[in-house]
């Protein structure tokens, strides 16, 4: 059994504070281009994860099951250029879980890092066990601790 942590915010050194991007990640519904379901989200996968943990996640566009804590299994895949996003199919399934079960935000509005701080969750833990994948919310700064080798 092995695990990785993924941020629910934009992990970038170019910004001095942790923040949720206004048009991507948890706020993908606000991206330009087309009308979207407000639950359309993706979980960012920082590039270093693929380098340090090669093969942990299936390759881009290869669907796999992701077990939620409530027992439901989502159809997900690694998506986007650079394999930088974990998305569900349909795309709103992952957002439905995140907004209603994790963030407790059932209504449409822009997500901020303050919202994550309010529920004391800013990342998720993905665990692979015997070829099955499981996701669970993780406390504030879990991703930062994981990145720095403290988890």
Task: List the CATH number of the domain containing 130.
Answer: 2.40.330
Count of Cβ atoms closer than 10 Å to residue 76 Cβ: 24
Structure tokens at 141: 């700064």
The reported pTM is 0.92
Cα–Cα nearest to 59, from 76, 34, 77: 77
The range of the structural domain enclosing residue 137 comes to: 2-147
Residue 102's pLDDT is what?
94
Per DSSP bridges, beta strands 43-44 and 121-129 are unpaired
Q: Are 111 and 121 in contact (CB under 8 A)?
A: no
Question: Based on the structure, what is the number of domains in the chain?
Answer: 1
Q: What is the pLDDT of residues 60-96, one digit of tens each?
A: 999 999 999 999 999 999 999 999 999 999 999 999 9
């Amino acid at each position: 059994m092995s695990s990785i942590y993924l941020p629910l915010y934009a992990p970038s050194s170019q910004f001095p504070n942790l923040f949720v991007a206004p048009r991507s990640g948890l706020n993908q519904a606000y991206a330009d281009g087309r009308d979207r379901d407000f639950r359309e989200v993706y979980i960012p996968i920082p590039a270093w994860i693929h380098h340090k943990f090669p093969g942990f996640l299936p390759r881009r566009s290869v669907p796999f099951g992701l077990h939620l804590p409530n027992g439901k299994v989502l159809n997900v895949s690694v998506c986007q250029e650079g394999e930088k996003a974990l998305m569900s199919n349909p795309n709103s399934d992952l957002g439905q879980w995140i907004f209603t079960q994790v963030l407790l935000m059932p209504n449409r509005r822009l997500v901020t890092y303050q919202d994550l701080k309010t529920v004391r969750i800013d990342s998720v833990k993905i665990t692979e066990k015997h070829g099955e994948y499981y996701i669970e919310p993780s406390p504030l700064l879990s991703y930062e601790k994981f990145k720095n080798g403290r988890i």
